[in-house]
Amino acid sequence: MFNGGSAKSLIDLQRGEVSREVFVNENLYREELERIFARAWLYIGHESQIRRPGDYFVSCMGEESVILTRDPAGQPRAFLNTCRHRGMKVCRYDEGHTVHFICPYHGWSYATDGRLVGVQQYETAYQPPFDRAQWGLIEVAQLATYRGTVWATWDPAAPPFLDYLGEARLALDLALGPWDGGDGETELLGSVQKWLIPSNWKFVAENFAGDGLHVVSHRSVDMVGIGPNQREGRRDDFGSLFLAAAPRWGHGITYSYLPADAERNDYAASMETSRYFKECWEKRRRKLGERAGLQVIVGTIFPNMSMHGQQPRTILVAHPRGVDMTEMWRVYFVDKDAPREVKQFLRHYYIRYSGPAGMTEQDDMENWNYATSASRGTIARRYPYHYKAGLGVGSIHQFIPGLVTGQPVSLSSEQNTRILYRRWAEFMDASSWSELTAARDS
C-alpha cells in the first residue's frame, strides 16, 4: 500500500517510533480516507441537534458532507449530502427543519428518510419509468446513538458501536453524563465552531489521546490563569492523572481522580455556579462513593473524535481536509438542568479555553501547524517521531478499564499515542473488518 510496504512497517511499537510519512505522505492520506474514514465509526452529531422529525444538521464524515436528520418515524438517519441525479450538494444550510430536501439543480426532492419522492417530468421524460426506490439518498451503513451522541459508519461489516468503543465506554459515560453522577442529561451549548488549521488531522487525535508532555506548551496561559476559579492555571484542581488505552481499539483516554473527601473549588466570579458544582459534588459522592472523583480530562475515540471530559466539556472532531489541512468542529456541553447562570458562566470559560480564540488551544494549533510543515521535507521525512515515554509501563487498574499508566509516570507516558498508531496501521493494512477483528484478537 505504501511503496509496496505495509503501514505496520511505519510504526515501531517496541522502539516507540513512528515514521513521518504517516503525517505528510499524500498517498497514505488518500488511503486513510478509504481505509479509516470509510470504515471506522465516526462521531456525526448530537441528538439535541435533531430533536423533532424533519430537523437536520449538516455534518461531515471524512472529507464528505453528510445530512443528519430525523425521519418521520422519529429515527435519526444520515445521508451523503449529494444528489443522485448529477451530484449537486442537496443541502447547503448548516441546520434547519424541512419536510423535503429539494435539490437546487434539477429539482429532485428527497424525504427525510432518504427516499426520492419528486422527479421533474417523471411521467413524461422517462420511458420506461425508472425505479425511484433505487435512487434515494446514499445512506450510512450503520448509525448508533449513545448518551445523546450520534455515530455512523459506511461499513456494514463494522462491529456494533458499543463493541467498537471497548474500554473507552466509561469515558463517554463520564464525559457525557451529568455532573451529579445521576441520570440527568447533558445538552449541547449552542452552535458549532468550525475552523481550518494547516495540520495533519492526527496531531489533533494524538494530542487528545494522551500527550502529557505537551503541557509545557501551555505555559503562557497557565501563567495568566484562565480557569473557572480565576487563579493560576487553566482548570480546576483535578487530582491525579491516569492514562488509559483501549489497546485493541486504539482509543486513548486521560482520566483524573480526586479522592472522595476532597472539596471542590469556589468560583469567585459566580456564586451560583459555585453552589451548583458543590451540590453536584455532594450528590456525586453520595451516589458513587470512592469513584465519584473519577473524571475524563481528555480523550480520543479512534480515529478523530476527541473530547474534554470535565472543565471544559467539549467534543472536537478533526475532519481531514488534505494531508496538511484539518477542519476542526467543536461543540460544548452543559448539564441540561443547570441554571442559566451556570451555563453562561461555563460558556464564557469554555470559549476562552478552546476554539480558535481559546487561549489554550491557540498554542496547540501553532504547534500542529509547524510540526506538519517542518516534517514535509525530503530529509525531514527520513527521521521518525519519538514516542518512547513510558515504554512498557502500563498495567491494570482497580476500576479504570484498559491499559493504565498512573502518576507519576502518566505525565510522561506516550502509551496512548503508541496504541493509536498501532490501530492506525491495522486499519491501513486490513482489507476488511474481518481482518481488522482478527488483528485485534491476535
Partner 1 sequence: MASGKNTLITGPAIDSALAHLVLTREVEDFLYYEADLLDERRYEEWLTLLTDDIRYWMPIRKNVPYRDERGDITGEEDIAWIDDDKATLTKRVRQIMTGVHWAEEPASRICHIISNVRLVEPGVALDANELVVGSRFCVYRNRVETETDFLVGRRQDTLRRIDGALKLARRKIILDQNVLMAKNLTMFF
Q: Could you list the residues that contact ligand FES (CB under 6 A)?
A: 83, 85-88, 103, 105-108
CA–CA dist 440, 427 (Å, integer): 11
Q: How many residues does this entry show for the chain?
A: 442
**What backbone phi and psi angles, to 5 degrees, belong to 313?**
-125, 110
- Give, for 385, the enclosing helix (H) or strand (E): strand 385-386
DSSP string, 411-427: GG--HHHHHHHHHHHHH
Of 157, 215, 357, 380, the one binding partner 1 (CB under 8 A) is: 357
Burial environment of residue 325 by CB neighbours within 10 A (0 to 12, 13 to 18, 19 or more): middle
Contact partner, 115, from partner 1, Fe ion, ligand FES, none, Cβ < 5-8 Å per class: none
3-state secondary structure of 35: helix
Three cell numbers written together for 55: 430537523
Residue 365: what residue type?
Answer: M
| Closer residue to partner 1 in complex, CB, 307/331 | 331
Q: Count other C-beta atoms under 10 Å from residue 94's C-beta.
A: 12
Q: Is 51 in the site for partner 1 (CB under 8 A)?
A: no
Binding range to partner 1, per CB under 8 A, among 27-35, 126-134, 151-159, 347-355:
347-355
Tell me: does residue 214 bind partner 1 (CB under 8 A): no
Contact stretch for partner 1 (CB under 8 A) within 45-53, 178-186, 196-204, 253-261: 196-204
Cβ nearer to ligand FES, comparing 109 with 265? 109
Q: Identify the residue among 163, 279, 282, 366 touching partner 1 (CB under 8 A).
A: 366
CA distances from 224 to 18, 220, 233, 244 (A): 35, 6, 7, 30
CB-nearer residue toward partner 1: 264 or 321: 321
Question: Measured from the CB atom, is 103 or 315 closer to ligand FES?
Answer: 103
Q: By the criterion CB under 5 A, which residues form the site for Fe ion?
A: 364
CA 421 – CA 427 distance, rounded (Å):
10
- Cell numbers 498512573 correspond to 406
Tell me phi and psi for residue 116, to 5 degrees.
-75, 115
Write out the binding residues for partner 1, residues 230-289 only, by CB under 8 A. Answer: 230
Which segment (250-258, 348-356, 383-391, 431-439) binds partner 1 by CB under 8 A? 348-356
Would you say 165 or 351 has its CB closer to partner 1? 351
- The answer to whether residue 380 forms part of the interface with partner 1 (CB under 8 A) is no
| DSSP type of residue 323 | T
Nearer to ligand FES, 103 or 331 (CB): 103
CA distance to 46, 83, 116, 303, per residue, from 137 (Å)? 21, 7, 7, 25
Neighbours of 428 (CB within 10 A): 21
Q: How many CB atoms lie within 10 A of CB 315?
A: 23
**Which is closer to ligand FES, CB of 88 or CB of 262?**
88
In the block, which residue shows the cell 493494512? 429
Cβ-based nearer residue to partner 1, 228 or 394: 228
- One character per residue 299-328, x = contact with partner 1 (rule: CB under 8 A): ----------------------------x-
Query: Which residues does 355 contact at the CB level (< 8 Å), separation at least 6?
Result: 193, 195, 330, 361
Among 65, 145, 310, 344, binds partner 1 (CB under 8 A): 344
Q: Residue 106 or 348: which CB sits closer to partner 1?
A: 348
Would you count residue 48 as binding partner 1 (CB under 8 A)? no
| Shortest Å distance, C-beta 171 to ligand FES | 41
Interface residues with partner 1 (CB under 8 A)? 92-96, 189-199, 217, 219-221, 223-226, 230, 327, 331-332, 340, 343-344, 347-348, 350-352, 355-357, 359, 361-363, 365-367, 369-370
